[in-house]
A and B are shown apart, each in its own frame.
Chain A
Amino acid sequence: MTDPLVRVEDLQKYYFEQDSLVDRLLGKEPESVQAVDGVSFDVREGETLGLVGESGCGKSTTGETLLRLREPTDGAVYFDGENVFESADLDEFRKRAQVVFQDPFSSLDPRMTAGQIIREPLDVHGIGTKAERRERVEELLERVGLSAGQVDRYPHEFSGGQRQRVGIARALALEPDFIVCDEPVSALDVSVQAQILNLLEDLQEEFGLTYLFIAHDLSVVRHISDRVAVMYLGEVVEIGPADEIFENPGHPYTEALLESVPRADTSEQGREVDPLAGDVPSPRSPPSGCRFHTRCPYAREACKRESPGDYDVAGRADHQAACFRRVEDHDYWDSPPLGEDEQVAEGTADD
């Protein structure tokens, strides 16, 4: 197997609260929010890796940090073999790695025309002559399904879906290899969402793009991804091929997520769903051991003590889950189950 295009190793991103000068003079300890805590994964060339999880699980922070849009606390990201966090000159990396943001309303400058927005990366990197840039912009507009005649329109003159197309055209301007799509369709209506998903697929095929596709909508992730990583409270709890994850989930959290999604089908009527109890604990003071143990229906004493490593699911080396239940001879099986009250008490104490 060839080397992956992007390799993320033990990425950490903590945010600190009470970290101002005044706080320090008052002798307050800075409090850390562990948004991303030790995340590792590979993105192979030409594939789409889906990163899925609920709000606050750190999936967007992961995307932004690995592009070095935020400074990491610890860890390393290798892009084509080069450590992004240590390289002094990011120009080349910035050309090859781009991003499409969630909100097409706030990620486009309202005072720039679509043409200016798409041309900006070309201006910044000094690519081509004026005429070439103009030509390139028009070509991009048509490629993403807009007309070249819309080049002088302002963002407010476009609908949500069209704005997202402008955002995609901007990301494509520098002919990147890798695009982080951070919830690119979650602000859009379903009919328009399908248009954008199809566009992203077409572009991937045409330009051989590699995507990191961040989303909370499981059906979208399954549709577009080759492989999927599931995040919970700043950690990747399961990673593997999309079909494997969705048909044979190895982590109780993935199972619960799949169970919770209401299907748009008549069989959904009256389907018994046993929803996960409780809320996601605060990342300020994540639970000990396995972070999911406060909500996990299978939690036992061992889960509280020890945090699980990544174990192969069903003997497959490409599908791993961070759950003791995947290990046959683990202490877990001998330890007593956690009572529900115990779980709830711990879960709420963390609020």
Chain B
Amino acid sequence: MSGDETSHARDASPAISDADEDARNLLRVRDLSTRFFTEEGQVNAVESVDFDVRDGEVFGIVGESGSGKSVTALSIGDLVESPGRVTSGEVWYRNADLAEEIDDPEAVDGDFVDVRQVPENVRRSLRGPSFSMIFQDPMSSLNPSLTVGEQIAEAVEVQRRARANPRSTRSRTQGYGLADMLASTVLPSRSYVSEESRERAIELLEQVGIPDPADRADEYPHQFSGGMLQRAMIAQALAGEPDLLIADEPTTALDVTIQAQILDLLRDLQDETGMSIVMITHNLGVIARMCDRVGVMYAGEIVERGQLADVFDDPVHPYTQGLLGSIPDLDEPASRLQPIEGNVPDLYDHEMGDRCYFADRCPYAMEECLSHPPEFDTETGKPVDPKTDPGEHGARCVLANHEFRPEDALPEEYFAVESEDSSGSDREAAETEEVNTDD
């Protein structure tokens, strides 16, 4: 946000960077905000999000559509496209070698480098060997006119050439000009992708459990089933041997039996490589199976975070409680579901106001919820600053601080009136229209 705040965060960081904490964190995301500037107005897709990803862990981000979880992932990789823009925030990534190379003291903190402050070519060079991403829909993420093997080999080749000169983006295509490209159409030996890369691609396909990898590598994406394609995409993401894999709804498009296979695969790969995974999904079951720690997102914010057991067994935020109460239990079906009333907000800046964003759907909304709550440590009940001292289990809700006070409760119709107003006082409008037009 403001310059003051960011510099404050950096000043404060040596205080918490006792060797322990730093060795455990691979990624520190601080105050990350992403906005979309649309014709209808500014959309605050991600609103000042802070979280850490530790070495070798699976960190889950769970939320409904429009909660900003995918945009958070894209923002980490600096992949947000116009009309969206990451408007503020720091993404500290631990890489001692890189930290030594960067001259800008602003962008370095111990072994950590702020990915958002390094030059574009450095940032690009990190995609692949440092961060890698897999997406929801494998069908639209792969090029339909190239064979699967070719696409993976290309990713391998890019990483291989990049390794020769790690911080330059030019090296990826150096020595390979237009003439070579033209020549490669008649002479296979002149093609961009080398024979070693092809072999490595087949190895990768085998690693992700594709049967007959040598044959399947020559097939096109449409010849693969959805599960196989997702495996191929994972192989591609592994080409650079990343430290961090960001998986954005990796199993949402798949059937449950295939989903189980892919989750198994991700677990095995993590055991093998020791990489960290950020798992983004709306499926609480997937979170429960995969994650060590989890952050619950609502309206662009992380509203509750903690160890899986803290969040699932002992949820504090009414939204987390609502989410868990809305899913039917497979083993012990309840007679009636407890849905969250209302709908997910649109996140238009001018509609958000300064209240708790969940207050309009919250069964425990009180007077004080009309001002935006800080994050509280659920243990001590004291407000914490997630930038400097993220507790183990935090919730952005006053209920973490004190019990619900019925005498302060907002009247039931409080937000109903407000929302009718903000949506163009539709009841009135509809009535006047009724008079005017008789269809």
**Chain A residues within CB distance 8 Å of chain B:** 54-55, 116, 147, 149-153, 159, 161-162, 189-195, 197-198, 201, 216, 218-220, 222-224, 246, 256-266, 268-269, 271, 273, 275-277, 279-280, 344, 348, 351
Contacts and interface: CB of A to CB of B under 8 A. Distances in A.
A306 B404 CA distance: 64
Interface of B: 64-65, 211-212, 223, 225, 227-228, 255-261, 263-264, 282-289, 291, 308-309, 312-313, 322-331, 333-334, 336-341, 343-344, 426-427, 430-431, 433-434, 439
B256 A218 contact: yes
13 contacts: A159-B344, A191-B339, A194-B327, A198-B339, A218-B256, A218-B330, A222-B330, A223-B337, A246-B331, A262-B288, A268-B285, A275-B257, A279-B227
A192 B344 CA distance: 9
A129 to B, nearest CB: 14
B144 to A, nearest CB: 17
A151 B433 CA distance: 11
A153 B430 CA distance: 8
Given A194-B339, A218-B330, A189 B260 contact: no
B240 to A, nearest CB: 27
A219 B344 contact: no
Contacts of A348: 211-212
B287 A264 contact: yes
Contacts of B344: 159, 189, 191-192
Contacts of B227: 279
Given A219-B329, A263-B285, A264-B327, A198 B256 contact: no
Given A54-B257, A262-B285, A198 B336 contact: yes
A54 B327 contact: no
Given A152-B433, A191-B322, A191-B340, A266 B313 contact: yes
A219 B313 contact: no
B330 A258 contact: yes
Nearest to A225: B333
B427 A149 contact: yes
Given A260-B256, A273-B263, 16 more contacts: A54-B256, A54-B257, A55-B255, A149-B427, A150-B426, A152-B433, A190-B284, A191-B339, A223-B333, A223-B334, A262-B260, A263-B288, A269-B288, A269-B291, A269-B308, A273-B264
A161 B325 CA distance: 18
A159 B327 CA distance: 20
A49 to B, nearest CB: 16
B343 A159 contact: yes
A152 B430 contact: yes
Contacts of B309: 266, 269
A277 B333 CA distance: 29
Most chain A Cβ neighbours within 10 Å, of B259, B313, B325, B331: B331
A271 B289 contact: yes
B426 A149 contact: yes
A272 to B, nearest CB: 10
Contacts of A277: 261
A201 B288 CA distance: 28
A179 B151 CA distance: 47
Contacts of B433: 152
A247 to B, nearest CB: 9
B299 to A, nearest CB: 13
A192 B308 contact: no
Contact of A190 (B323, B331, B334): B323
Nearest to A282: B225
Contacts of B211: 344, 348
A219 B260 contact: no
A220 B289 contact: no
Contacts of B260: 259-260, 262, 273, 275-276
Cβ-closest 10 pairs across A and B: A262-B285, A194-B339, A223-B328, A264-B284, A275-B260, A194-B326, A268-B288, A54-B255, A149-B427, A189-B64
Contacts of B327: 190, 194, 219, 264
Given A263-B331, A265-B312, A192 B255 contact: no
Contacts of B257: 54, 256-257, 260, 275-276
B256 A279 contact: no
A337 B68 CA distance: 50
B330 A263 contact: yes
B333 A191 contact: no
Given A223-B333, A264-B324, A266-B308, A192 B339 contact: yes
A262 B267 CA distance: 14
Contacts of B284: 190, 264
A132 to B, nearest CB: 15
Nearest to A262: B285
A261 B323 CA distance: 18
